[in-house]
Structure 1
């Protein structure tokens, strides 16, 4: 489908997902490694408790970079109605703005199989917008660009920083998205093609080396 002379283009894909961002993100284990001699105890790394402050962010992006960032209001739940009326409306506006500058034949939408994404209202809204949804294999975060690439970048960049207001956390997320070069976004979509091909070649079985 996405071969050089195929009917689809990687630049037409719009993808994204939601995740929780804590007001204080503990650096991942690989960033906490350090040498200690026999005279010192290993430093204790405290992890945020269940009640630590956090908010749900939804980030969508394409070949050129970030398109939309939505923050779920506190104490709200991500439903199909919210996804359609608040999240997809932002994505639609961003797509339309880019289309006025870049020739995009057709938008290809890639999101996972979460409940709000599969809901009838969501599918109907995407059809009305003329957006084709790409298939995504269930339980395959290693094929979702947000999961295997962008989320890790954002949490690494925000690790160790404390935020007291949601405005500051939101500003930091948006700022870090803007620091990612366009070439990195493009390279990520190319890497996803390699992952998909490897998955097809292995008939969906587990493999290493990515």
Structure 2
């Protein structure tokens, strides 16, 4: 055998793999179709259960058919905020089309004028993510343990407004108070002053303002104030956190940064939030708004369904 390989390579052969041979395939098309049909009857079925339904095929062969021949993989269901109706999907597509129409005509200038923001709860204790708990392990060392943690009862609400250059306004709700139209209008007045001081010229060019459809955001008084400011609204469809930059970019990174940290007072939480927000470079915020464009495109491609990434 060694002599044969030496002779073949001297004659110009370069591939060490066996050449394809004619003959009966190891798995027939009929068997593949049978396995797929049984799997499609119940997508939650296991390989062992498929083996019981098709006893003439081994468990290893069924697994090979599903993964190699058919290209299937078993994944968990993804959590979504709401079961979208046809009307919800239509609104999402229309909002995405409107956004892309503006973006396509004015290009980078459109993102330069966007100001977006939202509220989020920040807890005294935020569990670290599964990714954060990963560590290197030697085969002989015991596996690390991670105890179940839940979000702490102690929490404060942070309101953050930002654009592609950085944070414009960050404020925290006093304990015992709730966000209503009056309170939100006070925040918007502060935001306008912050834009005037930090982003000279944007108010003259015209702010494109974005927030979600929370009740204080859509109240008549809030709408009237925004109209008086002369700000143009960026449409946001209902039940769409996947299309809000604060929800898909800023707040997840904030919670990830705070993961595994314990705070004792509101002041400690506030300092940590402010430190994170002001510690990020402009590229961090710029990338958050740039992610918005492909998300809107995917929303249209998926006919209004939720966008994963």
Q: Give the match for residue 195 of structure 1.
A: 295
Quote how far apart the aligned CAs of 1:201 are.
2.9
Q: Give the match for residue 208 of structure 2.
A: 108
Q: Give the match for residue 28 of structure 2.
A: none
Range with bigger deviation, 28-37 or 105-114 = 28-37
Quote how far apart the aligned CAs of 1:98 are.
2.6
Give the alignment partner of residue 121 of structure 2, picking from 15, 20, 29: 20
Residue-pair matches, total: 206
Q: Which has the higher contact order (CA 8 A, sep 6+)?
A: 1
Are the aligned partners of 1:57 and 1:70 in contact in 2 as well (CA < 8 Å)? Answer: yes
Q: Give the match for residue 55 of structure 1.
A: 156
Give the alignment partner of residue 95 of structure 1, picking from 178, 192, 195: 195
Structure 1: which 5+ runs fail to align? none
TM-score between the two structures when normalised by the length of structure 1? 0.88
Q: Distance in 2 between matches of 1:31 and 1:125?
A: 43
**Cα distance 1:46–1:103, how it changes in 2: closer, same or farther (>3 A)?**
closer
Kindly indicate which of the two structures has a greater share of residues assigned to helix: 2
Post-superposition CA distance 1:29-49 (Å, at most 9, x none)? 332345697966833132235
**Cα distance 1:23–1:202, how it changes in 2: closer, same or farther (>3 A)?**
same
Structure 2: which 5+ runs fail to align? 1-101
Post-superposition CA distance 1:44-81 (Å, at most 9, x none)? 132235xx210111111001100111111101111111
Q: Matched residue of 2:171: which SS?
A: strand
Question: In terms of Rg, which structure is larger?
Answer: 2
Q: Distance in 2 between matches of 1:9 and 1:43?
A: 45
RMSD of equivalent CA atoms = 2.4
Q: Matched residue of 2:227: which SS?
A: helix
Q: Give the match for residue 186 of structure 1.
A: 286
TM-score between the two structures when normalised by the length of structure 2? 0.61
Range with bigger deviation, 63-72 or 6-15 = 6-15
Kindly indicate which of the two structures has a greater share of residues assigned to strand: 1
Q: Distance in 2 between matches of 1:158 and 1:6?
A: 35
Q: Matched residue of 2:194: which SS?
A: helix
Give the alignment partner of residue 147 of structure 2, picking from 6, 22, 44: 44
Q: Give the match for residue 69 of structure 1.
A: 170
Q: Give the match for residue 124 of structure 1.
A: 224
